[in-house]
Structure 1
């Protein structure tokens, strides 16, 4: 007889997505530079749901609230009055981007129908990625502004009848002083960063060359650890913190010769988690795989096939973030 999660004799495979369309990349890339990736999301989401169903993958989709609206008019209904006062003005969508966004095709910004598609699928949780893709460690913004953003995110989620349980900080800018705001609004689960120093939360200006270099190398070979998590390490200060283990790097023509190393690294991490009854947490953005879809979905299929082998051999279980929290609350 197979063991169950309740007697702690299995590891966990969880997947989370930063679900954002153009809202998460608009301060870094133009539509001309990145529009094809965003357009591809409209194909990626139904394909992902089909693949998840095929392999029994449970996933948390952390959605940007602005993306959950249907059009510009609906977006305006939810925009907070107390908007972030970043010193780096381009980080805020409110002053220039939103007013001019009517010139951008809706498919880059409004994913209401995609959210509804995910909502109908089994074992898929919709969490929050803030309302505006809010940067919690950048200079100039305040706790009150973050709270206004969270209120907006919860308001738009409530239209879908959703209770937001899980949260992912944009760009992993985890601000510990803001956690009390999440508690205030009933959010007790969030994605943490890997324990290694080169994955520590930081604002954009503090992401130095050495830190990036170590992080890059870690995608292909074991630098510090397997970045898996013991279930005894889930509870921190009243939260369930499910640490990231690996961002799935999308296909790149320049480094395609490293693909085997990249996938081997991920499978080694998964195997370690399965053998040692720990958690392996894979994450990415749907827009990452918006282009070169055949190759990128090939990566996912190889990973999920490995998951099925581990499931059969070690009873490795797929759970979304809310399911993990619910199971381990019982202990």
Structure 2
């Protein structure tokens, strides 16, 4: 089964993923740009026949505040830090402009674009490593995410990305029990572990690693994927595509590094998993789209030279559907 695979997963969240970080009023222009960028991303993916998993916060499926309220779980996450909760945020902020919070028309455009998977980023951008939240709250959150996706678009969500990369192995069985067959986990490097504990040194190493090697290999073998009975397939991330920054000397270096890593993965028949947030392109959208297209063009040459394949998370799961699982 050893093949060279290029997979992309996107964390589609708009303000639900940043409400504890920055005021909505300061970000509305940024999100307006993101709403314009997403159709253009889809055009690029269709042009280069790229499969993508769009890990979408369930609240984005709602049309308006009334519909949002109708799908809220009874047992909501309770964090020691209440500022992390979207429910607390709404109670403090009030029901503000939904353009930065609801996006069913963009989800519809994803569905209508070939080779795209609508995946889950949980219903409420749920944090599995935060104190005081519980297994039962997480389970209800996943059920709310699956229900709104099915009711609105007839979707059975099958892949999941943990918000803020708060990957928690203890929650994998719940994911599987609630219908998720694949999850994205973090790179194995120490500076990607325990992302709820965001020490400055970790941020420095993660940023530096986009320019020079500071961790292990970013590619891996399909045969090494964690596949256990009663658990989803674990598909680790390889590299975060960081956005273009004005006057940065590292814009070119970051892209060249991704292309080099992708080439190495292709030549060795490995998996390379790129991810980012669509709203990351909100500043300097044209420059970001050009850099992304350069990466996709490079993949196109690798597809021709090494028969590297584009697969989203669901497609990778389907590749294993007839293979035996590990029994633990």
Give the TM-score taking structure 1 as reference length. 0.93
Deviation at 1:220, TM superposition (A): 0.7
Measure how far apart 1:83 and its partner are: 1.2
> Hey, what does 1:3 align to over in structure 2?
none
CA offset digits 1:74-106 (Å, max 9, x no partner)? 00000112111111110011134257442x222
Partner of 1:233: 224
Alignment partner, residue 196 of structure 1: 189
Number of residues paired by the alignment?
A: 320
Query: What is the aligned partner in structure 1 of residue 212 from structure 2?
Result: 221
For 2:88 and 2:316, the matched residues in 1 are separated by: 39
Give me the CA root mean square deviation. 1.4
CA contact (8 A) 2:175 2:232 kept: no
Checking the alignment, whether the CA contact within 8 Å between 2:237 and 2:274 is kept in structure 1 is yes
CA contact (8 A) 1:226 1:272 kept: no
Distance 2:5 2:12 in 1: 22
Q: C-alpha offsets along residues 194-218 of structure 1, whole Å, 9 cap, x if unaligned?
A: 1111111331xx2212222211110
Residue of structure 2 equivalent to 1:269: 261
Gaps of 5+ in 1: 1-6
Please, which runs of 5 or more residues in structure 2 have no aligned partner?
324-328
- Counterpart in the other structure of 1:123: 115
Q: Distance in 1 between matches of 2:19 and 2:175?
A: 25
Is residue 241 of structure 2 the alignment partner of residue 248 of structure 1?
A: yes
Whether 1:27 and 2:20 are equivalent positions in the alignment is: yes
The answer to whether the 8 Å contact 1:18/1:285 transfers is yes
1:324 aligns to 2:316 (yes or no): yes
Q: Is the 8 A contact 1:192 1:241 kept in 2?
A: yes
CA separation of 1:319/1:101 partners in 2, compared to 1, >3 Å: closer, same or farther?
Answer: farther
Question: What is residue 326 of structure 2 aligned with on the other side?
Answer: none
CA offset at residue 151 of structure 1? 1.2
TM-score normalised by L of structure 2: 0.94
User: Any conservation in 2 of the 1:193–1:244 contact (CA below 8 Å)?
Assistant: yes
Cα deviations across residues 130-184 of structure 1 (Å, max 9, x unaligned)? 0000011011111111111111111101111111110000011111221121111
CA distance in 1, matches of 2:70, 2:80: 26
The CA deviation at 1:34 is 2.0
**Which 4+ residue blocks in structure 1 deviate beyond 4 angstroms?**
none
Does residue 209 of structure 1 match 2:209? no
